[in-house]
A and B are shown apart, each in its own frame.
Chain A
Amino acid sequence: MNNPFSYKAYKRQVIGGVIAVFVICVAAIFLFNIHGYNTPYGAPWDIGSAAFFPGLIALLLAVLGIFSLISQWQKNDKTAQAKPVVNKSPSKVVISYCFITLITLALPWLGIWLTAMIIVPALSLCFGERRWKMLLLLSVLPPFIIIHLFEDVMGIYFPTGVFF
């Protein structure tokens, strides 16, 4: 574990395992729902019922998840090493993603104008844009064009938010 490559490969393997567990959990939630109290969607093993098809797929997914977990276990470091790890700055991605999520989900309250005017320059900042004039331009021009395109040309209106 002392050379950087095998450390990354190890990390990759762990993430792969976490995903496999996650897949199994998703399948389990669906399976519990189908087979659970009162079998809410009809008999799970009757082909004509609403429960059969998702039940079958969820079972398949669970089995596949277990296989995936086993294969992560068995995987030797060689295969993982062969692939170069592209991601150089995961924390930047996580921060950007959280920010995008936050602003996007706040759209009903912020309103389309505020959302657009915050998210465009902010993402540009993430991409390394530092000229404040450019950021100012980005906060005005793209939102103006895009929102007018949707609202006035296409007739699709967005929430105006609580501030207007």
Chain B
Amino acid sequence: MDFDIFYQGLTMLTNPWTLLALSIGLASGIMIGALPGLTATMAVAVLAPFTFFMPASIGIPFLLGIYKGAIYGGSIPAILVNTPGTAAAAASAKDGYELTKQGKSRKALQVSLYSSVVADFISTLILIVIAIPLASIAIRFGSSEFTLLYLIALTMIAMVSGESFLKGLIAASLGLLISSIGLDPMSGYQRFTFGNTDLLAGISLIPLLIGVFALSEILMQISKPEQSAQSTIDRAQNNEGLSWQEFWSLRPTILRSTTIGCLLGSLPGLGAEISCWIAYGVARAKSKNPKQYGKGSLEGLAAAESGNNAVVPAALIPMTVFGIPGDTVTAVLIGALMAQGMMPGPLLIQQNPGFLLGLFLVLLLTNVLLLLFGLGAIRWLKNINQIPASVLYPCVLLLCICGTYAVNSSTFDLFILVLGGGIGYIMRQQDYPIAPLIIGLLLGPGLESSIRQSLVFSDGSLSIFWTRPISLVLLIVLTIVIAFIGIKIFRSRSQSDNNSSPNLTPKKTEDSL
């Protein structure tokens, strides 16, 4: 019996059509992910109906290939032109693009590829080995646990704020405030819409993200004189690759970020977008040279990339074990599996273990393919900054406009794009960090609704946050994190007390966290 299952799984792996579908999916996934605005969710949703006409052993690997490819692909434009292709790659842009500016784009692309593949591989092994115990813990997470997790994630603002904590807090609060615009799902109130129909849906994240990153980058480039001189520097240093020693020294960072990504991914609702920032923040807190972060740190890039890619296999855990979507992509995948007559969940494990095993083996194989495809892509992509700015950036702009419109087929999103571009440009000119704004936008809706849900659960009593065992553990973790950050800020302030003006940061910590 067991051998039968194994055999069935292996036949799926050796089926040439499965491999072909997987490769096509992966390649198109990388391309879609690399285009700003086109997200993994959208790609999988658009292409899912086509798989209804294919057998499951071809259709599902195809979609999985797209999913993985898209999450990886988002990092490519983030590194090369400071335009995260997906929200999950926003943290990769921070250090990745700095590396490109230093003429190390090849090295950055390699770090991103290797850490993605390693993280994905480890996470897939975890999925195969301990999916069921992990899922049964994850499902116990109620609203109060999520509230505390969101708060822990919010403390990462202190880690990504750069030089001025005050400016970081302003950016984060602005993000949180913007995220509260629109129809409130719990009360049905139309908040801050000022009578505008388009604002009912709130400020869409992806158009704003594209504006703040890509459009503001284009504006920065316009203001920069002497393009040609810069690109010759790039050309000279372009061939420098990643040495084994450099990669080996990233090992603890990658392992830590993979663990974080895996744990967060297995919780339904927390996706790669949030996990990359937490991985990045934790890596910085643990790092020996945190000053390097945001200025082209290989560690920072590796942390962000392994943090978001580890989520992909982990998000399949709630799906395969309980039939619950781990994120929006898996929600579409469940639909596609249903169309194949296979409802993921407890029954799939019992009734179709061979298929499931085959799927797991395919997931492992995807990593090998991703490595090959990535290496092939890097050979070409490292040359992208030899394209003159006068050709590259106009094309990037057009892609951004098209991608923005594609998100919701909405012309209002174009307005958000240009507004975001303006805000992003001013923020950069004035040294306001962009990362806290994005974190605020990402966490706002989840944080607010989980707080309010918890209070409905407890009938208005705050005791829910310490009477539940997992909540209590998380509350202690949160307190430790806040204390840790408080000490760090206090120390750095007393160090730099004599050369800078009085700063109000330590006092504000408690308010924000």
Contact = CB atoms under 8 A, between A and B. Distances in A.
Interface stretch (B78-86, B213-221, B275-283, B478-486): B213-221
Contacts of A105: 411, 414-415, 418
B501 interface: yes
A127 B390 contact: yes
Interface string A68-91: 100100111001000100111110
Contact of A119 (B184, B394, B504): B394
A154 B46 contact: yes
A124 to B, nearest CB: 5
A159 B411 contact: yes
A138 interface: yes
A53 B192 CA distance: 13
Contacts of B174: 23, 26, 61
Contact of A147 (B402, B451, B508, B512): B402
Interface residues of B, number: 72
Interface stretch (B56-64, B130-138, B236-244, B421-429): B421-429
A124 B411 contact: no
B223 interface: yes
Interface residues of A, number: 74
A5 B21 CA distance: 60
Contacts, number: 187
B500 interface: yes
Interface in A1-42: 12, 15-16, 19, 23, 26-27, 30, 33, 40-42
Nearest to B180: A54
A126 interface: yes
Contact of B222 (A49, A57, A96, A121): A96
Interface in B96-126: none
Contacts of A134: 390-391
A7 B253 CA distance: 44
A134 B387 CA distance: 13
Interface stretch (B164-172, B315-323, B355-363): B164-172
B270 interface: no
B8 interface: no
25 contacts: A12-B430, A23-B174, A27-B177, A48-B456, A50-B184, A50-B191, A53-B448, A53-B451, A53-B452, A61-B174, A86-B223, A93-B219, A96-B222, A101-B418, A107-B401, A107-B405, A116-B401, A120-B398, A124-B394, A128-B390, A129-B388, A138-B391, A138-B394, A142-B398, A146-B402
